[in-house]
Chains A and B, each alone.
Chain A
Amino acid sequence: MHDPLDEICEALRRHLELPAGGIVSGFSQPIGEDSLQGLHLSGAEEIPVISAVDGGSNTLLRTPTLVVVLNRVYYNQFLGMRKMDHYETVEFISKTEIIERDKRNFFRTEVFPLEGPCLLSPIEIDLKDETLMVGTTYGDMSRALSMARRFCEWRLAERAVEAGAECILMDGALQTAFKDEHKVANKLYDKAKGSGSIVAGLSKSTTIYLANGFPLAGTVDEMARRKGYPRWIIKLGESEEWTHRATVYYAKLHEMADSGYRLDVFEGAKEEEVEGLLRGLLACSTYFGYPGYPYPLIDAHTYAKVGQAEADGFRAQILDRLGWDECRKLELMERALMQHGVLDSLGG
């Protein structure tokens, strides 16, 4: 056994002998084939109005200590695959920079609305805040600059509830990553609970794994295949580690879907509300270009997206207003971040 590739294959084979179940890391109760539920297509039952919320952004200017970003957050309303007339867009430029106060450094983000209401007041966060740490490095700018958009998504979701959405569908997990983000999330939860709406998040990919070392994705898909369910859902439970006050599911919403998706439902949801949500999700996940993925999220993504051309246009407008010498200095600072690709372009 000396061929390294043979050894790799040997390891892979062990990895592919998927277990029948086990404890999901970070969750308490074990899962097995019996935890899996087939999803049936609803007959005449009512489906809820779903509002999908998504945000998009693109960087306009970036020096190591100051970043200007164009953000757009959007929600819609769907009944099954049918888009309803109501939607809302919030568009703003966010400027995040490192400032010094009392011998300490902070990231300070200010927002400048372009369209829609201003949903955020300035955010300040200590550079040393652990929610901005990546590994052992403090104060990751890339993380800091996405805070504004993320907070805004939570805030706009509140407006979607006010507008009458029975289910709020966020892009991604119901996780809070930044300092004080949980406060914004809680506000949404409270508002939703108050008006009988439910909040869910859907993630295209997941790294959740079983304590025995196997990924959740694949293991559960295999279990479902053995059971013969074309569409299914499995409840993983609650987890401090993976979510913020939510129950995590893993579900496949269309028989032609390539895989299952992680679905988070906030803790305030009643059982029949979850059932309603699932009926709604099944009904809106039949897009021929991406079966199994809720079409309202595809729609929200489309309208939230900030394209490169659009960002270039804004950047040009900003540079237009600067003097020649100012532009030169700006470029100098930007260059510190733009050395990627130079080595590649040298070939070899």
Chain B
Amino acid sequence: MEKETDVESREVEYVGQIVSGNDSEFLLREKQGAKLELGDLLVVDNEGVKYICMVSELSYGSLIAPERILTSAGSILEGVNPRLEFPEKDLRIFRQIHTKPLLEVISEGERMAGRAPRSIPEFMSKARVAEASDFSFMEEPRTKVFIGDIRSGGKTLPVGFSMDGEKLLSHHVLISAQTGRGKSNLVKVLLWEAMKHEKFGVLVMDVHNEYYGTTTSPGLKDHPNARRVLRYYSRSPPPGGQLLKINLKSIDVDDLKGIVEFTEAQEGTLEMLRREKGAEWISALLEWSEDEKGSRKPTGTIRVLKRKICNIFNLNETPAGYVCEDGVFDLGGMGEETINDMARALEDGKVVLIDGSSISDDAGLVIASAVIRKLFDRYEEYKLSGTIHEKAQIGVVLEEAPRVLDVAHGGNIFSRIAREGRKFKIGLIAITQLASVIPKDILANIGTKVIMGNEMAQERRVLVENAAQDLSGYDRIIAGLEVGEAIVSSIFSKFPVPVKIPKFEEIAGSSKAQGRGQTQKQAETPNMPPVRKTYF
């Protein structure tokens, strides 16, 4: 008995038939009762090739004169003449399914290979709903980072979609969604995945302190490799964590520029301070007595600069001099190596997670800037010495990315990563609700865009226009994405991939359950041995 015949003889349930269209859209007549939804994946099987497409629009079709329909509907609606019927299998009224072709899957001998659609199916071909086996062409990347399961509308297929970590990070990632659609969850999932490989250095300024985890909720601390690859800095670190203490000598004037706005005069003063005092420039500024020796410097400027610096680093003047209220920044001799340590940890392929909840957003960005500046210095050297390919790929998670990526802040280190980080193996993971504020050239430089639900038409338009694939016609689909659902448009995938990102608690939880009796569901989650899964 062969099992093959079993599979082949199974009757295919068709849901529609192609009745018109072109290479950018197939129009199908829906089989009655198929109840297709936006985002559903359909497959059209032709000889030697199958076409996978996504439902992008639904409309009505009828062969009855519009006037008659209106009259009949009116008479039913108004109860004038309810004695009108719609027969069960009326062929004259139907729903039309508009679909976007995603890709062609061709059989090359034994193998299947996916590619961007180059042709269209036979006219009048029938379509069925996609199933897991339709994605058997997807290949496993070398260092796989699981993103989610392939999704057909609201239903997930048991097919994991993973990307190559090196490519993903080096060519930048944009995670775009309206608030509450699961951006932070996705970042957590990505970090969890990255930590498995012990070779990706990812810097995370966690402003809400939501990634590490607490005694009651799981987080990155629960990763099996956490002890080796996670470095957690906090003002009040748990056992195993690092004390977040940063000496202000590690902060450069450049780290502030591009994050805090300065007037030309203020910038001039800062430059001068750095020239004259070097790393001590902040202490020097703070110690500046306003009635100093017939100063050439404008006292107003000094006063304002002092106030700004104090605000950013939460410094207060006391009789004993300036002190940092929350204890994170130090003007004396403590925390001198912290920035260096962070940079080194990243270079060693660790996730450096900084609890930014106790410091101002600006201070957090300034710290991140200092660390990245260090890294850039080192990686520039590696590049010159030709050893950069041996070094860990770096990623920088940037929350509310437009704040520092917009045109006004064109000169800061984050824009630099976006523009030339690829050469130095430093990539961005930019998170935002407002992709529209990010300059076009930066958007174009981002290789992978994870598009999540968004109700703002303007945002959707920008995302569609800047995607790696032609996403025209996806507007309704994007608007309808639920929490955790996404379309991944990447230069590394042949089609815009609809995925359902797992809830972090599910993957973290199942890692603990490892070894115990595993359910089917758990066996399919990404941290399990990749026996039955296929990857891109």
- Chain A positions within 8 Å of B90 at CB level: 289
A290 within 8 A of B: yes
Contact A81 B83 (CB under 8 A): no
Contact B69 A289 (CB under 8 A): yes
B84 within 8 A of A: yes
Contact B75 A256 (CB under 8 A): yes
Residues of A within 8 A of B (CB): 41, 81-83, 254-256, 286-291, 295, 299, 302
B76 within 8 A of A: yes
Contact B89 A83 (CB under 8 A): yes
Give the contacting residue for B86; candidates A82, A256, A288, A302; CB below 8 A: A288
Known contacts A255-B81, A256-B71, A256-B84; is A288 also within 8 Å of B89 by CB? no
CA distance A302 to B63 in the complex (A): 12
Known contacts A81-B85, A287-B84, A288-B85; is A302 also within 8 Å of B91 by CB? yes
CA distance A81 to B89 in the complex (A): 11
In the assembled complex, the CB of A229 is this many whole angstroms from the nearest CB of chain B, namely 15
- Of the candidates A41, A83, A256, A290, the one having the most CB atoms from chain B within 10 angstroms of its own CB is A256
CA distance A255 to B81 in the complex (A): 8
CA distance A154 to B425 in the complex (A): 83
Known contacts A288-B72, A289-B64, A289-B72; is A254 also within 8 Å of B83 by CB? yes
CA distance A254 to B64 in the complex (A): 18
Main secondary structure of the interface of A (DSSP, over half): loop
- Binary interface profile of B, 69-96, with partner A (CB < 8 Å = 1, else 0)? 1011101100001011111111111000
Contact A286 B68 (CB under 8 A): no
- Chain B positions within 8 Å of A288 at CB level: 64, 68-69, 72-73, 76, 84-86
Selected A-B contacts with CB under 8 Å, 8 pairs: A256-B72, A256-B84, A286-B83, A287-B85, A288-B84, A289-B92, A289-B93, A302-B91
Contact A290 B68 (CB under 8 A): yes
Contact A286 B88 (CB under 8 A): no
In the assembled complex, the CB of B192 is this many whole angstroms from the nearest CB of chain A, namely 56
Within 8 A of A (CB), among B15-34: none
In the assembled complex, the CB of A123 is this many whole angstroms from the nearest CB of chain B, namely 33
Contact B87 A287 (CB under 8 A): yes
In the assembled complex, the CB of B72 is this many whole angstroms from the nearest CB of chain A, namely 4
In the assembled complex, the CB of B193 is this many whole angstroms from the nearest CB of chain A, namely 52
CA distance A41 to B83 in the complex (A): 10
Contact A291 B72 (CB under 8 A): yes
CA distance A40 to B62 in the complex (A): 32
- Chain A positions within 8 Å of B88 at CB level: 82-83
- Chain B positions within 8 Å of A291 at CB level: 72, 84
- Chain A positions within 8 Å of B91 at CB level: 302
CA distance A256 to B83 in the complex (A): 10
Give the contacting residue for A256; candidates B81, B85, B87; CB below 8 A: B81
In the assembled complex, the CB of A182 is this many whole angstroms from the nearest CB of chain B, namely 35
In the assembled complex, the CB of A294 is this many whole angstroms from the nearest CB of chain B, namely 12
CA distance A289 to B93 in the complex (A): 9
